[in-house]
Chain A
Amino acid sequence: MKLGNGFLRISVLCGLLFLYLPILSMIVFSFNRSSLGNIWAGFSLKWYARLFANDEVIAALGLSLRIAFLSATLATVLGTLAALALARFGAFRGRAVFSGTVLAPLVLPEVIAGIALLMLFILMARWIGWPTQRGFLTVTLAHATYSMAFVTTVIRARLVAMDISVEEAAMDLGSTPWQVLRDITLPVIAPSLLAGWLLAFTLSLDDVVIANFTTGPGATTLPMVIWSKVKMGITPDINALASLIIVSVALLVLAGTLMMGFARRGSPD
């Protein structure tokens, strides 16, 4: 028993190290005084200072945040509608096809999605004269399209788990279907809406492939900046930037988990 316990602990430790050692070393080296990535020369915050003085990085960060915010919001609205259609409207005509096409991006390689969206934008520009140039708007739309599948999955799971008689009870008490949606369904699934939004936000924030295909001159997202910098060798200010991103993503995930916890405690069982 004791041996088993020790073995268990070592296994868990090895697993955690395997997962987090690279990230941990990156965070540690972001505080390295030396500019050489592999030699520790004492603690310093100078890479963070240099990062914030870098206008290109700051502008890219701002663009990425705006794209992530807008695309996540768009994906949540569309994803909620799709999830409601799939979970509440019974066996309508074409339901199986709809379900398949909505969820296909989950398994579609990003490269394919990126090429397809690029083709679409080019063709649209030719036929209807829009979008005249690719950039902020096209990346936002592309991200919303891609992350909607994930949002739909999260919200649909919550809708399926929810007791339908709660909605029936509201209708029985005099509320029209729209009032039921507003008063009961949306508040009950609110935590999963937020979880879906956070997921879409993170997906957009760290996407480099689709953004590369669908952006144009003058609109460079943060992952694209990092990607182009890394091609010339890793510098400690990239470490600093990545560390900041990891911390903020970790905080978002934590918030999402807490929300899901609230959702479970609020459910009628």
Chain B
Amino acid sequence: MTLPMQNKPRTAHPVQENPEPEPAREAFLKVERVSKSFGPVQAVSDVSLDIRRGELFSLLGGSGCGKTTLLRMLAGFETPSAGRIYIDGRDVTDVPPYERPVNMMFQSYALFPHMSVEKNIAYGLKHEAMSRAQKDERVRAMLDLVQLSDLGRRKPHQISGGQKQRVALARALARMPKVLLLDEPLGALDKKLREQTQFELSNIQQRTGITFVVVTHDQDEAMTLSDRIAVMRGGAVQQIGTPNEVYEYPSSGFVADFIGSINLYDGSVVKSGAATRVRVPALGREVTVASDKALETGQPVQVAIRPEKISIAARAAPGAENVVTGRIANRGYFGKDTLYRVRLESGEILLASNVNVARALGSPLSRESEMQVELSFAPQAVVVLPR
């Protein structure tokens, strides 16, 4: 389990205590109440998105959540059963794929097997009003952009998977589309190459300024790449927000659980107001939370706490809030951190992770089985979700 990285190099999202809606900017790519059904199967239901110019927007969800169908509707390969799609103010809902100002990078890369890398990249330019020299220049620029200048004359079967991925990207970018659609752009690469390519991709997006819409099932990828993420489930959008927002302020238990790992327990509000208290049977106590939501006494809720926001120690620091006790059931050592599965007195499991700051070998916490521990978390660490 890898926890999402927050070291996005460009647009730094201010760490907000209370997420406020960002100032409304004009939508560049507007999806308006779009639905799509294949016979009795509803693949996409009533999705609305406002994607801004120059944004890197991700559609994140498990398989069958409708993200690929939505992307194919943006490309024009599928027609919505209901709803409209606008790009840069123009209604493109009924425009065929070959007349849309968008290009797509396919999951299988879909390179033309009988053409060289250069010819692949140049293919889309034959429909543009450009001179031969301009086309050659563009192809060269694209090859430079993806660092494949030496491989222009190779055929697709003569290059590696990572190189194919970059040719596919260069080919899709060559026409300078208004929107670039990427279907699982890193899905076919191995882990090391994927991490490397992630940054390259967001670099290229930044340099070209083209609006990217990325479909992915990988939450780490979505977190690292995106300006904003739409989390999808069952054909509908669950939440739209910056990586920071969907991670720290999930709107539902599903989003909380899908992005990263989280402890989710049922509870009910005991006292609302400034110092809200929630009774959580699984934790065997009342928990103090700092919730911005208007809660009523007696309201059933879910509390969600990220493992890295829970301190674990033999004895909790004096003055620590929300202390619960338990015994360590298992440990997962990941090098940079250790994940503890702690069995509470209620029998429930609580996940807590600890960054391994010191190079200590054999501290009791990392060694002793069934060790009794005290866990604590700040009121601000708790997300309260309606149930």
Whether A165 contacts B98 by the Cβ 8 Å rule is no
**A163-211 contacts to B (CB < 8 Å):** 163, 165-166, 168-176, 183-184, 187-188
A265 at the binding interface (Cβ < 8 Å): yes
Contact check, A265 vs B157: say whether CB atoms are below 8 A apart: yes
Q: Chain A contact residues: over half helix, strand or loop, or mixed?
A: helix
A-B CB pair tally, cutoff 8 Å = 74
Q: Could you tell me the distance between the alpha carbons of A173 and B177 in the complex, rounded to whole angstroms?
A: 10
Binds A, one of B107-115, B190-198, B331-339: B107-115
Which residues does chain A contribute within 8 Å of B157, judged by CB atoms?
Answer: 265-266, 268
Q: Which residues of B contact A265 (CB under 8 A)?
A: 157
Establish whether residues B103 and A163, one from each chain, have CB atoms under 8 Å apart when the complex forms: no
Given A165-B106, A165-B108, A265-B157, verify A172-B75 contact (CB < 8 Å).
yes
Nearest neighbor of A175 in chain B, beta-carbon distance:
B98
Q: Are the C-beta atoms of B111 and A268 separated by less than 8 Å?
A: yes
Please tell me if B359 contacts chain A, counting CB pairs below 8 Å.
Answer: no
B25 interface hit (Cβ, 8 Å) = no
Q: Are A176 and B114 in contact (CB under 8 A)?
A: no
* Given contact pairs A174-B98, A176-B98, A266-B157, A168 touches B108 in the complex (Cβ within 8 A): no
Residues of B at the A interface (CB closer than 8 Å) are 75-77, 96-99, 102-104, 106-114, 123-124, 126-128, 155-157, 171-172, 175
Question: What is the CB-to-nearest-CB distance from A170 to chain B, in angstroms, rounded to a whole number?
Answer: 7
Q: Which residues of A contact B (CB under 8 A)?
A: 163, 165-166, 168-176, 183-184, 187-188, 265-268
Closest CB of chain A to B156's CB: distance in Å?
6
Contact B110 A166 (CB under 8 A): yes
**Nearest chain B residue, comparing its CB with the CB of A177:** B98
Measured in the bound complex, the distance between the Cα atoms of B109 and A268 in whole Å is: 9
| Beta-carbon contact of B75 and A266 below 8 Å | no
Find out whether the CB atom of A268 lies under 8 angstroms from the CB atom of B108: yes
Contact status of A165 and B114, CB under 8 A, knowing A173-B123, A173-B171, A268-B156? no
Q: How far is the CA of A169 from the CA of B127 in the complex (A)?
A: 14
- Taking CB atoms, residues of chain A closer than 8 Å to B171 are 169, 173
Instruction: List, in ascending order, chain B residues with CB within 8 A of A168's CB.
Output: 75, 77, 97, 104, 106, 110
State the CA gap A188–B157 with chains docked (Å): 13
Residue of B96, B107, B110, B127 touching A268 (CB-CB under 8 A) = B110
New A-B contacts (14) at CB < 8 Å, excluding given A168-B97, A170-B112, A174-B99: A168-B77, A171-B96, A172-B77, A172-B98, A172-B172, A173-B171, A174-B98, A174-B124, A175-B98, A188-B113, A266-B155, A266-B157, A268-B111, A268-B113
Chain A residues within an 8 Å CB radius of B114: 187-188, 266
For A175, the chain B residues whose CB sits under 8 A away are 98, 123, 127
On chain B, the residues within 8 Å of A173 by CB distance are 98, 103, 123-124, 127, 171-172, 175
Q: Which residues of B contact A187 (CB under 8 A)?
A: 114
* Contact among A172, A176, A184 for B112, CB-based, below 8 A: A184
The distance from the CB of A167 to the nearest CB of chain B, in whole angstroms, is 8
Listed A/B pairs (17) with beta-carbon separation below 8 Å:
A163-B110, A165-B107, A168-B97, A170-B123, A172-B77, A172-B97, A172-B103, A172-B104, A173-B98, A173-B103, A173-B124, A173-B171, A173-B175, A188-B114, A268-B111, A268-B113, A268-B156
- How many angstroms between the C-alpha atoms of A174 and B96 in the bound complex? 10
Chain B CB within 10 Å, residue with most, of A169, A265, A267, A268: A169
In Å, the complex CA distance between A40 and B247 comes to: 91
Contact A169 B113 (CB under 8 A): no
- Bound Cα distance A174, B97 (Å): 7
Say how far B170's CB is from chain A's closest CB, in angstroms. Answer: 12
A176: chain B residues within 8 A (beta carbon): 98
B30 vs chain A, min Cβ distance (A): 20
Whole-angstrom distance between the Cβ of A159 and the nearest chain B Cβ: 14
Instruction: Report the Cα distance A168→B124, complex, angstroms.
Output: 12
> How distant is the Cα of A187 from the Cα of B114 in the complex, in angstroms?
7
A187 to B115, CA, bound (A): 10
Q: Is the CB of B104 within 8 A of A169?
A: yes
Contact indicator A169/B110 (Cβ below 8 Å): yes
